[in-house]
């Protein structure tokens, strides 16, 4: 076990920003995606683990905070010099004499940016700069807090592909906070779902999908025609413009697919849709609270 959290509470004034009552563990090699709307407590959780914010409760780890690496949501550096010198100072090495660093710079296509000052870098270049520094830390546990926020689709996709490729077959444990579910599909194998400072659920993606969505889910546009086709099937909570049918068995899935194909209806089938997990986990928690 790399890290465990027990009875964690973080308060900002009178407001409870985070309250984790059930024990939560991070195992070595875990890739945990943290999801939740704004104010859910995602960044607060990272800050607590890193010792950046006061909390009550217990966070147990054999790692010291400085042995964990983190890409914060906002990363700023001095603008008094080109980023090359910042990089060399932070890493305590010269770029010219460090093959691993050169490899990373080349991997993230950052060579042409080294002579620029930080404020002159584009959003994507800024993110890549911090990612290179974070990766060079070679930490056992690395946090990425909304690493692609504010980037355009293409840059975001390219960056996540690079991250996925880099960490493939590496033993590092990752905690990735993101609002983009497709990124977590690529990077995470576990999910921590937070809502209003509380843990809704935590577990492997597949297990959570099965728990909240069933075997598979078929999603179509939410229109009168499609609603009539899927009338007799169990519906899942979904965004207002979509209609999601839960399929508990392969036969049921084939039946729904056939029906939609016969009627020339576009649909998406998934057995790992994180958005559906998130929406239905929240809906389930809301239902539980209402019944109480």
Q: Which is nearer to other proteins, 71 or 156 (CB)?
A: 71
Q: Which is nearer to other proteins, 85 or 268 (CB)?
A: 85
Q: Which is nearer to other proteins, 28 or 79 (CB)?
A: 79
Q: Which is nearer to other proteins, 26 or 279 (CB)?
A: 26
The 10 Å CB-count burial string (b at 16+, else e) for 78-106 is eeeeebbebbbeebeeeeeebeebeebbe
CA angle, residues 65, 71, 75, in degrees to nearest 5: 110
Q: Which is nearer to other proteins, 41 or 214 (CB)?
A: 41
Query: What are the backbone angles phi and psi of residue 189, rounded to the nearest 5°?
Result: -115, -15
Minimum Å gap between C-beta 207 and other proteins is: 31
Q: Which is nearer to other proteins, 98 or 155 (CB)?
A: 98
Q: Which is nearer to other proteins, 55 or 110 (CB)?
A: 55
The single-letter DSSP state of residue 234 is P
Kindly report the length of the chain.
Answer: 292
For residues 61 and 12, what is the distance between their CA atoms, to the nearest angstrom? Answer: 24
Residue with tokens 């492997």: 204
What tokens appear for 149 in the block?
Answer: 């926020």
Minimum Å gap between C-beta 194 and other proteins is: 20
Helix (H), strand (E) at residue 251: helix 250-262
Residue with tokens 């000052």: 117
Minimum Å gap between C-beta 173 and other proteins is: 17
| Alpha helix (H) residue ranges in 16-152 | 42-49, 83-91, 99-107, 123-136
Minimum Å gap between C-beta 78 and other proteins is: 6
Minimum Å gap between C-beta 135 and other proteins is: 12
What tokens appear for 22 in the block?
Answer: 């059930």
For residues 269 and 234, what is the distance between their CA atoms, to the nearest angstrom? Answer: 15
Tell which residue, 258, 255, 207, 262, has the closest CA to residue 234. Answer: 255
Minimum Å gap between C-beta 84 and other proteins is: 10
Which residues are at the interface with other proteins (CB under 8 A)? 50-52, 54-55, 57-59, 65-67, 69-70, 72, 74-81, 85-86, 88-94, 133, 136-137
What tokens appear for 19 in the block?
Answer: 């309250």
Q: Which is nearer to other proteins, 67 or 161 (CB)?
A: 67
Minimum Å gap between C-beta 109 and other proteins is: 22
Minimum Å gap between C-beta 55 and other proteins is: 6
End-to-end CA distance of the chain: 35
Tell which residue, 220, 226, 236, has the closest CA to residue 278. Answer: 236
For residues 292 and 272, what is the distance between their CA atoms, to the nearest angstrom? Answer: 30
């Amino acid at each position: 076990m790399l890290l465990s959290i027990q009875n964690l509470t973080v308060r900002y004034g009178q407001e409870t920003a985070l309250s984790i009552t059930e024990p939560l563990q991070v195992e070595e090699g875990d890739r945990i995606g943290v999801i939740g709307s704004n104010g859910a407590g995602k960044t607060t959780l990272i800050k607590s683990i890193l010792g950046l914010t006061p909390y009550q409760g217990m966070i147990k780890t054999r790692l010291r905070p400085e042995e964990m690496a983190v890409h914060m949501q906002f990363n700023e550096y001095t603008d008094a010099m080109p980023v090359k010198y910042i990089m060399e100072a932070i890493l305590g090495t010269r770029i010219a004499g460090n093959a691993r660093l050169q490899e990373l710079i080349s991997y993230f296509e950052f060579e042409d940016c080294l002579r620029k000052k930080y404020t002159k870098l584009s959003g994507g270049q800024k993110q890549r700069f911090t990612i290179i520094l974070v990766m060079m830390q070679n930490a056992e546990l690395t946090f990425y807090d909304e690493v692609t926020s504010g980037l355009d689709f293409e840059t975001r996709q390219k960056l996540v592909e690079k991250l996925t490729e880099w960490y493939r077959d590496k033993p590092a444990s990752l905690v990735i906070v993101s609002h983009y579910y497709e990124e977590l599909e690529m990077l995470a194998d576990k999910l921590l779902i937070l809502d209003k400072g509380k843990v809704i659920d935590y577990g492997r993606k597949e297990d959570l999908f099965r728990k909240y969505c069933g075997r598979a889910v078929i999603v179509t546009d939410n229109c009168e025609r499609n609603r009539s086709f899927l009338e007799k099937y169990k519906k899942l909570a979904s965004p207002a413009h979509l209609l999601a049918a839960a399929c508990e068995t392969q036969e049921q899935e084939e039946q729904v697919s056939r029906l939609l194909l016969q009627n020339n209806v576009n649909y998406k089938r998934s057995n790992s849709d994180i958005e559906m997990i998130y929406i239905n986990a929240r809906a389930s928690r809301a239902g539980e609270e209402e019944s109480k």
